[in-house]
Structures are given as structure tokens and as C-alpha cells.
Structure 1
Amino acid sequence: MSMPELRWFKSSYSDSSNGNDCIEVAPTLTTVHVRDSKNTAGPRLTFALETWARFVPYASQD
């Protein structure tokens, strides 16, 4: 079974004065993939949906 192609978009949680300093996310039915928009071929993180849901509020704190 082959993996479907991921559809990446810039996260609404990325906020920078430089529009290129963002993360991109690609959600699937069971995971959320995360990569650096400046290095799209570089390392990626993969989160289970419930882990991502717990991470986002923590990461968005000032």
C-alpha cells in the first residue's frame, strides 16, 4: 500500500515578520506532519492527532 501525497500548507500559528519563517503542516486522517518552509526536503515531525491537539495550545502561548 502506497502513502498518499501530502498536501502542505503554511500553519496559521506561524507568525513572523518574515513570511518565509513558517512551518508547514499536512494533516491526514490519523496524523499531522510538520516541516520547515525554508527546508521542505529536510526533516519532518509527525504527530498523532490527539498529540497535535495538545501541542498547539502549548506552542501558541506567549
Structure 2
Amino acid sequence: MIRWRKSSRSEGSVNGGCVEVARLDARLGIRDSKDPNGPKLTLPAGSFSELLTRIKSGELDL
């Protein structure tokens, strides 16, 4: 069973939108909590870590 977890930064967001993540063996999944059956992004764990680092540094304008 896949266990999705909400981002701690998602609390109090506009329209209840949240980012959720789940461990999928050697990969991590990312989805929009408003559309749990919709598209999901999956990344190797190392790539996920790199993505978070780039977002936090402001390199990616998300």
C-alpha cells in the first residue's frame, strides 16, 4: 500500500492545495492532493533531493 504524506509547507495554502509525496521503492512520487487520481511525478530519490535543493535555493521559480 502506498502511503502519501502532505508537505508540512502545504498547511493553510489557498484553496486547500497540497503537495503530497510517497516512497515508491527506490523512487519518490509527487502528486496534487486536490487530484489524488490525477497525474503523478516520479523521480529517483537522488533526483528528488536535488529538485528540493534547487527549489529552496530559488534557482527554480515555482
TM norm structure 2: 0.74
Partner of 2:28: helix, strand, or coil? Answer: strand
Aligned 8 A contact 1:16 1:22 in 2: no
RMSD (Å), alpha carbons: 2.1
Q: Which runs of 5+ in 1 are unaligned?
A: none
Partner residue of 1:34 out of 30, 36, 41: 30
Tell me how far 1:57 sits from its aligned partner: 1.6
Q: Percent identity?
A: 33
TM norm structure 1: 0.74
How many Å separate the matches in 1 of 2:15 and 2:2? 22
Aligned 8 A contact 1:13 1:60 in 2: no
- Structure with greater helix share of residues: 2
Q: Which runs of 5+ in 2 are unaligned?
A: none
Counting matched residue pairs gives 58
1:61/1:19 CA distance change after superposition, 3 Å = farther
